[in-house]
Chain A
Amino acid sequence: MSDILKKGYAHSEVLVSTEWVEQHINDPNVRIIESNEDPLLYASGHIPGAVHVDWTADLNDQVRRDYIQKEQFEELMSRIGVTPDMTVVFYGDKNNWWACYAFWVFQLFQHKNAKIMDGGRLKWEKEGRPLTREVPTYPRTEYRAPERDDSQIRAFREQVMEHLKAGRPLVDVRSPEEYTGERLHMEGYPNEGALRGGHIPGAVNVPWSRAANPDDGTFKPADDLRKIYLEEQGLRPDDEVIAYCRIGERSSHTWFVLKYLLGFPKVRNYDGSWTEWGNLVGAPVEKGPGKPRSG
């Protein structure tokens, strides 16, 4: 833990090290959860005792564009043998991008004891820690969750519009090509696309992965993060911030960084993101390079 404490985060208790996780593999009060972008990774080898939570199958409503409801969350948690008091530790590929996404969805249901393993799969593998293909089974629990609360960490389009009118900061975490409008979507894949390219007016552009060290997938220290979001982009520590990307998954990584690592008071993830905004009739769009916030 000391390495994480040294990084100077506002809420360092939401991170655990790979070493801590290895020491808690058999801890009955800890459930390790792998969430990846690549659906084959878990089956190809995972941390011993870790369960798999798949964002499409487990976290999304299978019919409409939304997240699971209370009942499905309860079923998921009961199936993977979690109780409300247990600590869940997420890890995954791509600098913990999907781990942060799962973490975010779990917070919609207020599972408080949730942590991210700093560095995710990449660091675990690089350190030569054990992996297994054995899928664990745990005794089923009867998890009871509160109703999903979207009000604190999730933003809908009307709220984004109000936020925009109030001149509050938005962080667009997509690539510069998506932000400027140069890249709209891949021809032939309308599900991925939007009819208009560009960004929400006034949004600053910080591609999500800038918050991570590419060598080991860990989060950058707080000082480095402050340089990016505060000094370079002009956010202020007391700002209310909304982050967005294309469908709200990359921006959950930035949401985690701003809320927990830098301690911004209110950060919301606009999961409608560009696939909604870029298709909304009449929604304001800005094209071209952005600029940092001023004043």
Chain B
Amino acid sequence: MSVYPEKLAEIIEDIQSITDPYEKSEVLIEYADQFREVPETVARRPFPEEHRVPFCESDAYVWVRQNPDGTLQFYFAVENPQGISAKAMAAILDESLSGQPPEVAAQISPDIVLKIFGQNISMGKGQGLMGMVGMVKNLALRYVSEDSRK
């Protein structure tokens, strides 16, 4: 069984405790409403391909910057205006992983997508969201390995 970073574990626990599918959707939509797009100081359109999330048909992008204290800040863009799930996922990842040391994001695994969205997610959509999680993890791993080389 995977061990999740504390904030993420709390979010997952909260979402999993909701049994009513409509209520669960409401909570996820609230996250989507909180989604903040990458600021122009970090990236401008057209966004570079290397930041595009593989397999995500909502045209999602991920960036990371290291804060002076060594923690990471993640930024996201979702180009598909109807990519509500992608926005919700991005907002959850931002809330739980930004401002944390690289090791925190490096320990996440794509199975959180199914924990959060459950059976309501299509395989294709799941793959896109897992791609986003995988990209966040891989970006964080770069900083973990850089730290370990120092």
Contact = CB atoms under 8 A, between A and B. Distances in A.
Contacts of A41: 82, 84
Nearest to B130: A189
Contacts of B32: 40, 44
B16 to A, nearest CB: 16
B15 to A, nearest CB: 12
Contacts of B85: 38-40
B130 A122 contact: no
A70 to B, nearest CB: 23
A37 B127 CA distance: 12
A144 B105 CA distance: 52
A249 B124 CA distance: 10
A247 interface: yes
A39 B121 CA distance: 6
Contacts of A189: 110, 126-127, 130
B95 interface: no
B67 interface: no
A63 interface: no
Interface in A60-98: 93-94
A191 B57 CA distance: 18
Interface residues of B, number: 31
B73 interface: no
B6 interface: no
Interface string B1-39: 000000000000000000001100110110010000000
Contacts of A135: 22
Interface string A35-69: 00111111110000000001111000000000000
A39 B127 contact: no
B117 interface: yes
Nearest to A217: B82
Contacts of B134: 186, 188
Given A43-B25, A54-B120, A135-B22, A38 B127 contact: no
Nearest to B125: A37
A247 B120 CA distance: 16
A115 interface: no
Contact of A57 (B88, B110, B120, B130): B120
Contact of B122 (A43, A56, A125, A186): A56
B125 A38 contact: yes
Nearest to B109: A188
Interface string B75-97: 00000011111001000000000
Given A40-B29, A188-B110, A122 B82 contact: yes
Contacts of B84: 38, 40-41, 44
Contacts of A192: 123, 126-127
Interface in A89-137: 93-94, 121-122, 125, 135
Nearest to A54: B120
B52 to A, nearest CB: 14
In the A-B complex, the 5 residue pairs with the smallest Cβ-Cβ separation, listed nearest first, are: A43-B25, A39-B120, A40-B84, A93-B82, A38-B85
14 contacts: A37-B57, A37-B122, A38-B85, A40-B28, A40-B88, A44-B25, A56-B120, A57-B119, A121-B82, A125-B81, A186-B54, A189-B130, A192-B123, A249-B122
Interface of B: 21-22, 25-26, 28-29, 32, 54-55, 57-58, 81-85, 88, 110, 117, 119-127, 130-131, 134
Given A43-B29, A57-B120, A191-B123, 11 more contacts: A39-B25, A39-B120, A39-B121, A44-B25, A44-B84, A56-B119, A94-B57, A94-B82, A186-B130, A189-B110, A192-B123
